[in-house]
Structure 1
Amino acid sequence: MAVQNHARDAQNLLRSRLCNPSFVFKALSGSPDSNYSKLKFILSSSVTEACNNSLLLLGPRGSGKTAVLELVLNDLLEEYPDMISVIRLNGLLHNDDNCAFKEISRQLCVEHHLLFSKMASFDDNSQFLIAMLRECGLAHKTIVFVLEEFDLFAQVKSFYFQGKQRLLYSLLDAMQSITSQAAVIGISCRLDADQLLEKRVRSRFSHRKLLFLPPSTEIIERLLQHILLLPMDSTLPNDYATQFNTKLESVLADERFKEILKNYLSSSSTINHLLRFLFVAVSSIDVKSGYPSLDNFKTALSSFRRQPKQECIKDCSILELYILACIRRLESKEQKSYNFNSVMKEYKSIHDQFQTSDDYARNVCLRAFERLLQRDLICFSDNRGQGQSVEFRPVKCLISHFELQEGIKAYRSCPIILTKLLDR
């Protein structure tokens, strides 16, 4: 009974860690080459040396851009509590210039205990922003503008004024003054976000970019140790924590665990997906035994690998699998456009090369091709040529290489040649 209680406490502790981005990314803040260190250095120079800075945090969703920025801002607010003011905007909510300037004015009024007027015009809010930048600069206080979904600020066209990107231009232009003290941090999942800027905006932007790339094997191992190992100074008994950590390290060192993790991260290798995987694994720990096992991670992998399109492969015929494999081979050859006729050419070349017994007539292949269209495993790449025959219209594949490969492996009585075709 005591072991069960300890196991539940350990689960709660680990789940709270996995839901706390500050704890997760703290493990990556020690290296001088980390994005945390680079971002903190840039923002620290804005606070201590009155430097105006602008930069972009770029990377796929779930890679930790916002989490690292929040960690840096929290650390700076502790070091310089009266020298930083943070204004947060989101391109999904404030992509209209009038709305954005009003929200900036509202947050500045709340921060500095001023009276906010909802009836203020665009020009009033714009002048108020410039005045606040000047006053904060004289008081050696840095205003940090955090622009989530930065690319939406660059894409939207104002309904009230001619041209685009008035907000970005106003912020960056105001930072050219020696009396202002501010930093603009843009966050976007588009790697070409800076290319969306107009010429006048781009000339005022510093062009600093921090890329959040998929974590390396070394970083993943460090995160696993940091998140999953129980602390020895917690309320849990030392004997239980020691045994828990010993069993966990044994699992992490197992080659089968590394293969499980590799299979999961092959579809998406962001830190956010890793945390989701670990959360399910921790939640599946058997409280009766009280300790983690390899089966917990197998359970987590199976729960995430239930893909609807992968399930559809089980109902496909051998011929339909051949067609999907041919399409994937065409894509691997960097053939951007293909239709039924080009797929049939690839199918014939496979049959001639390997002398397979699966040789079907063209009209049978066309019916199989149409069934794949009905099951949404492939679709037409555009709406042009709707009056044309199916065999002439270009198509694209809606199932990933990984899903197709795993589906074929799980397919009963599947020809070995199909597995070899996808491995090539």
Structure 2
Amino acid sequence: MPTSPSKRSRNLINLVSGSLPLQFHECLNSQKYAILHALRNMSDIQLENDIEDEDDMDRTNTSTSQNLDELLCGTVERGEGNSCLLLGPRGTGKTMMLERALSKISSGDSPPVIIRLSGWLQQNDRLAMREIARQLREQTGASFLSAEVEEETHDRDDEPNPFIDNPADDPETSVAEPSPTHLPALIAVLPTLSRASIVILEGFDLFALHARQALLYCLLDTAQSCRAGANSKGLAVVGLTTRVDTINLLEKRVKSRFSGRILRVAPQTINYWRRLTKAILCVFVGEDAFTDEEDLAQWRTTWETRVQQFLDDKSTLQTLSETFSITKDMRMLTAVLTSTVVTLSPEAPWPTSSQFLTSAEIHRVRPLYPYLHNLPYSAICLLIASVHAGTAGYSVVTFDMLHEYFRDQVRSSTAAPVQINGGSIGMTFETLVAAKIFVSVTAPSWNTAKEFTKYICVVEREDVKKAVDKGGMIPLKKWLNKAQ
């Protein structure tokens, strides 16, 4: 039965005022699911092209993305052999840019064969060859390791490799590790496949550490040999790295096979973060979550209005700017938005600046010692003593110096215990040393007593002050305030 106009008016008022009617509870869950799905697949997010908000870094990444699209299209559509290097700091979106380019060319009738290798996992050419063979079998259904190669592998007198699957356990899925001498033959198979091939090398600089750089040489030499219009279906080699001197790591024969294309990915700007945040929060929700088209239109309008109010809030903009100033890593933005979205509920269905700030504080710089306020009285006294020593000009302290400050404090305060749980002040200090709160700055020596060993306190004065404030002990507050 359709809802009456008066009832719809009341529901709209409730939506705007903050309370969420029962009929929209499932809508909120669907919206949260859509946002979380978008955060996991950020390469699928399409931003609105606003030329006025773009700056030099945005234009650089736009140009890099276009060049990468053209390079991969040349390989897939014309059978070219290409190679390039995506260069940029960590967290700038190199992988996301590549995934977006791959999604464009994979939507056609003949998607390419994509082989993904990682320099952190495939630490030698044998492991890389095995991974290439495994991925080829999964995507093409054919094995490119001959029976002679597998027999030769098993007949080798080398010690068994723990990374090799036991063929007796599962002969259908096991892949033997080939000898490095078969590397050129395996790589030469790639241009002869029925589809174009794209090899992605994460941590490209780590592959340069392989013996003789044989894998890089074979890949780049094969890509260079591909000619458009011939029987080749095309091969592209795309490397991702953060090292600006990666080219200098390559041997001369490998460097001569590289095309020299270096596509630079610049760190994203705060304007890009704002536009990306809006695009993620306003992601489209499917009609399956709604039983009425008017409810769907009402929810979209209200949600987008609330998101815009959230993004226009000065506190939200300040939190976003502070987070961006700490790190340019987009994974940080993903973590902060995820924590903000999962806290939404029918009682508090709209994102707020306070939720965003709380999430940012959790995921940004975590305190090194969040448990300081739970330390015993004597331990807090030792930390305050180190603050007094620092105020007096002693950046390096000994236990004897701290004990002198502590003893003076005990004499002036009748409430100060000299033992905690049966342990002395010396045992408390040893506990702080074991927790790396006090770190020795000198090598151990047999002719130096323990109480005269030099230490530095790694806890800052502000952290000590927060611990004292949380503890609520007035004598400790007064003693700390004397250290001016």
Is the TM value for this pair above 0.5?
A: yes
RMSD of Structure 2 on Structure 1 (CA): 4.3
- Secondary structure of 2:122's partner? coil
Write the distance in 1 (CA, Å) between the matches of 2:462 and 2:301. 38
Which residue number in structure 1 is paired with residue 401 of structure 2?
Answer: 364
Which residue number in structure 2 is paired with residue 340 of structure 1?
Answer: none
Equivalent position to 1:200, from 245, 249, 253: 253
Kindly name which structure, 1 or 2, has the bigger radius of gyration based on alpha carbons. Answer: 2
Write the distance in 2 (CA, Å) between the matches of 1:378 and 1:38. 53
- Secondary structure of 2:351's partner? coil
Tell me how far 1:255 sits from its aligned partner. 1.3
Tell me how far 1:65 sits from its aligned partner. 2.3
Tell me how far 1:233 sits from its aligned partner. 7.4
* Structure 2 counterparts to residues 264-413 of structure 1, below 5 A: 264-304=323-363, 307=366, 309-312=368-371, 314=373, 364=401, 374-377=434-437, 379=439, 385-387=443-445, 407=463, 410=466, 412=469
1:124-165 deviation digits (Å, cap 9, x = unpaired)? 4522422443x35xx7x5321111232332224xxxxxx432
Equivalent position to 1:246, from 302, 305, 308: 305
Tell me how far 1:207 sits from its aligned partner. 3.8
Most deviating of 315-324 and 117-126 = 315-324
Q: Structure 1 residues 50, 92: CA separation in 2 closer, same or farther (over 3 Å shift)?
A: same
Which residue number in structure 2 is paired with residue 223 of structure 1?
Answer: 276
- Secondary structure of 1:309's partner? coil
Write the distance in 2 (CA, Å) between the matches of 1:270 and 1:125. 37
The answer on whether the counterparts of 1:3 and 1:290 sit within 8 Å (CA) in structure 2 is: no
Tell me how far 1:300 sits from its aligned partner. 1.6
Which residue number in structure 2 is paired with residue 155 of structure 1?
Answer: 209
The answer on whether the counterparts of 1:285 and 1:292 sit within 8 Å (CA) in structure 2 is: yes
The answer on whether the counterparts of 1:28 and 1:36 sit within 8 Å (CA) in structure 2 is: no
| Structure 1: gaps of 5 or more residues | 157-162, 325-343, 352-359
- Secondary structure of 2:347's partner? coil
The answer on whether the counterparts of 1:3 and 1:288 sit within 8 Å (CA) in structure 2 is: no
Which residue number in structure 2 is paired with residue 6 of structure 1?
Answer: 27
The answer on whether the counterparts of 1:32 and 1:38 sit within 8 Å (CA) in structure 2 is: no
| 2:110 maps to 1:82 | yes
Q: Structure 1 residues 84, 405: CA separation in 2 closer, same or farther (over 3 Å shift)?
A: farther
- Secondary structure of 1:311's partner? coil
Tell me how far 1:201 sits from its aligned partner. 2.1
- Secondary structure of 2:225's partner? coil
Q: Structure 1 residues 286, 37: CA separation in 2 closer, same or farther (over 3 Å shift)?
A: same
Letter of the 1:165 partner, please give it: Q
Equivalent position to 1:170, from 205, 218, 225: 218
The answer on whether the counterparts of 2:226 and 2:235 sit within 8 Å (CA) in structure 1 is: no
The answer on whether the counterparts of 1:281 and 1:300 sit within 8 Å (CA) in structure 2 is: yes
- Secondary structure of 1:144's partner? strand
Letter of the 2:47 partner, please give it: A
Q: Structure 1 residues 83, 294: CA separation in 2 closer, same or farther (over 3 Å shift)?
A: closer
Tell me how far 1:175 sits from its aligned partner. 2.7
Letter of the 2:401 partner, please give it: V
Write the distance in 2 (CA, Å) between the matches of 1:258 and 1:319. 41
Q: Size of the alignment, in residue pairs?
A: 374
Q: Structure 1 residues 310, 149: CA separation in 2 closer, same or farther (over 3 Å shift)?
A: same
Write the distance in 2 (CA, Å) between the matches of 1:211 and 1:371. 49
Letter of the 1:101 partner, please give it: M
Q: Structure 1 residues 58, 362: CA separation in 2 closer, same or farther (over 3 Å shift)?
A: same
The answer on whether the counterparts of 1:251 and 1:257 sit within 8 Å (CA) in structure 2 is: yes
The answer on whether the counterparts of 1:154 and 1:196 sit within 8 Å (CA) in structure 2 is: yes
> TM-score of the superposition, structure 1-length normalised?
0.70
* Structure 2 counterparts to residues 134-149 of structure 1, below 5 A: 135=192, 142-149=196-203
Which residue number in structure 2 is paired with residue 129 of structure 1?
Answer: 187
Letter of the 2:185 partner, please give it: Q
1:286-340 deviation digits (Å, cap 9, x = unpaired)? 312432222321332343368351415656869858979xxxxxxxxxxxxxxxx
Write the distance in 2 (CA, Å) between the matches of 1:287 and 1:171. 55
1:239-283 deviation digits (Å, cap 9, x = unpaired)? 232222222211211111122233444443311110111011011
Tell me how far 1:221 sits from its aligned partner. 0.8
| Structure 2: gaps of 5 or more residues | 1-21, 51-57, 150-177, 406-428, 470-476
> TM-score of the superposition, structure 2-length normalised?
0.63
